Structure 1
Amino acid sequence: MVLIDTHCHLYLEEFREDIRLVIEKATAAGVEQIYLPAIDSSEHQNLVDLEAAFPGKCVAMMGLHPCYVKENVEDELKLVEEWLSKRSFAAVGEIGLDFYWDRTFENQQYDAFRRQIGLALKYSLPIVIHSRNSTQECIEIVNEHIGKGLGGVFHCFGGSYEQAKQIADAGFYLGIGGVVTYKNAGLPAVLERLSLDQIVLETDAPYLTPVPFRGKRNESAYLPYVVAKLAEIYQVDREEVAARTTANARKLFKLTAS
């Protein structure tokens, strides 16, 4: 079983003491690659340092997370653009809108999202979208760019079937992780009406740990628990879930099969 974790924050403080063990456990669980979304400049160096420490295993993205769009947004976006101009990244992410915690900088979030989409188009990169309490708004922004070659994934998808269909129609994938294992999530009922060909796997570690580890630190080694739940939803074996979602991830990040 070969798996790809398309969204994981292994460069954060929660992993500093045992990162090598975390990587070893992920590899033993079949995780071939781990994609690292950026949040803001406070973690950029840790992000690229982790990629350098585990070449081919950890792969960096670059972007400004909507929760970190603050008074210094112009400085942060300038740094994102500088990083993208000087080296390659797998994607622009994670970017988008977050209306759960605070809407003080709502207008700036919209502006930052659109500008970073512009950077993705400039560098022919996919985008990784954070859309907490803002799925429909993010879909509408994506739809502004239909026909321009924009692609990507809605990370931690938790919307309705109708929204999932809009996302698929736009040529985007749904990022599915530990939430699908939660008893009251409602996500299985949405997914069973969709094709596995629209799904990529993720952990969002250290967050959103799947059952039976909920409440503990998440990590890439727990991805098989997401696979098991998807196999149950789609009534196929785990190998098929792994093969199809890994193929989707390779398409998302424009990789050729190994």
Structure 2
Amino acid sequence: MRRFIDIGANLTDSMYQGFYNGTSKHPPDLPNVLERAWNAGLKKIIITAGRLQETEEALKLAKTNDALFTTVGVHPTRCGDFDASGDPDAHLRALHSLIDENRGRVVAVGECGLDYDRLQFCDQDTQRRYFERQLSLSESSRLPLFLHCRASAADLVDVLRNQHGRCFGGVVHSFDGTKEEAESIMDLGYYIGINGCSLKTAANLAVAAALPADRLLLETDAPWCEIRPTHAGSRHVRPPAATPCKKERWQADRPVKARNEPANITQVLDVLAAVREEDPDTLAEQIFVNTTKLFFPDHVSDH
């Protein structure tokens, strides 16, 4: 059976508690979501956290299952949290403490980076300042970075290049940039994370097809970034094992329509293997090894 590691899933999102836009539609069903994930070949899932409180919730969840792990960091659109806390230094120290006190469950620093598409949430200067400061988390822990990059590749690469000695590799997740941007990222030793948002357009597919297999990682970014019927890569997706149901007609043994979940990582592989004209079993195993090397280096010899 193919082996997968989902490098980014927002499992603390309220959708997995049955809430959509603040309204309850069905019972909490994260155990059902995880059961489908394990049945699909997921061996590990890294829970994505984007602010201090989310990290605390993610850690609590990760400690319930040996196959769950988490990141620690502040998302670029939430970097205003540092100033809003009244003591940015203390806020950063709290992140350091979460890493130090939870080694083994925390496997990356992030989600951090730059997002110039949504400056209404946090201005560019604040994002860059606290992105640079969060690199101290990687420097002290020797953990890789889980990076967010939207319309900001040049500045992201500039920061990573200038601070290269402080970092221990990482991945730019949910990549949707150009081949040239990907090459500038990979030239610094970083990986490229592919999910449904990476495969929307014909241009996206061309980039994904051109990337070296040994620099690829897979993710879902669930409950977001599902592969929709309107996406260029959707024609390569095999029908799901269970037909999704509407959230108002929830059934425990069926996924919820338009709510992504880790089991759908198989769909990302479907598209990626098709556009690259590669054997999906071989590609899946290569990516599994890539992911293990980056986030679970102590387990490389097990494979």
- 2:76 counterpart residue number: 66
Provide the TM-score with structure 1 as the length reference.
0.93
Amino acid at match of 2:133: R
Q: Any idea what SS the aligned residue of 2:31 has? A: helix
Q: Is the 8 A contact 1:157 1:176 kept in 2?
A: yes
Instruction: Report if aligned partners of 1:3, 1:30 keep a CA contact under 8 Å in 2.
Output: yes
The change in CA–CA distance for 1:149 and 1:119 in structure 2 (over 3 A counts) is closer
**Cross-structure match for 1:77:** 92
Secondary structure of the residue aligned to 2:217 is strand
Q: 1:40 aligned to 2:51?
A: yes
Q: Report Cα offsets for 1:72-104 as digits up to 9, x if no partner.
A: 261543321221232212010100111111254
Pairs within 5 Å for 1:223-234: 223-234=265-276
> Secondary structure of the equivalent of 2:164?
coil
* 2-structure distance, mates of 1:185, 1:157: 14
Determine if the alignment matches structure 1 residue 186 to structure 2 residue 203: yes
Q: Which runs of 5+ in 2 are unaligned?
A: 18-27, 232-256
What letter corresponds to residue 232 of structure 1 in structure 2? A
2:264 to 222, 227, 249: 222
How far does residue 191 in structure 1 lie from its aligned partner after superposition? 2.2
| 1:5/1:220 contact within 8 Å kept | yes
1:26 aligns with 2:37: yes
Taking the aligned partners of 1:115 and 1:148, their CA distance within structure 2 comes to 11
TM-score when scaled to structure 2?
A: 0.79
Give the conservation status (yes or no) of the 8 Å contact 1:180–1:226: no
For the structure 1 residues 213 and 193, does the alpha-carbon distance in structure 2 shift closer, same or farther, using more than 3 Å as the test?
closer
In structure 1, stretches of 5+ residues that fail to align are: none
Quick check: 2:145–2:167 contact (8 Å CA) kept in 1?
Answer: no
Bigger radius of gyration among the two? 2
Q: CA deviation at 1:247?
A: 0.6
CA displacement at 1:69 relative to structure 2: 1.2
1:25-79 residue CA offsets vs partner (Å, 9 max, x unmatched): 0011111110012111232232111101112x11011011111111426154332
Give the drift of 1:181.
3.9
Q: CA deviation at 1:149?
A: 5.3
Mapping for residues 98-113 of structure 1, pairs under 5 Å: 98-102=115-119, 104-113=122-131
Compared CA separation, residues 54 and 212, structure 1 to 2 (3 A): farther
Give, in whole Å, the separation in 2 of the partners of 1:218 and 1:174: 20
> Aligned to 1:205, what secondary structure does the other structure show?
coil
Alignment root-mean-square deviation, CA: 1.9
Do the aligned partners of 1:180 and 1:229 also contact (CA within 8 Å) in 2? Answer: no
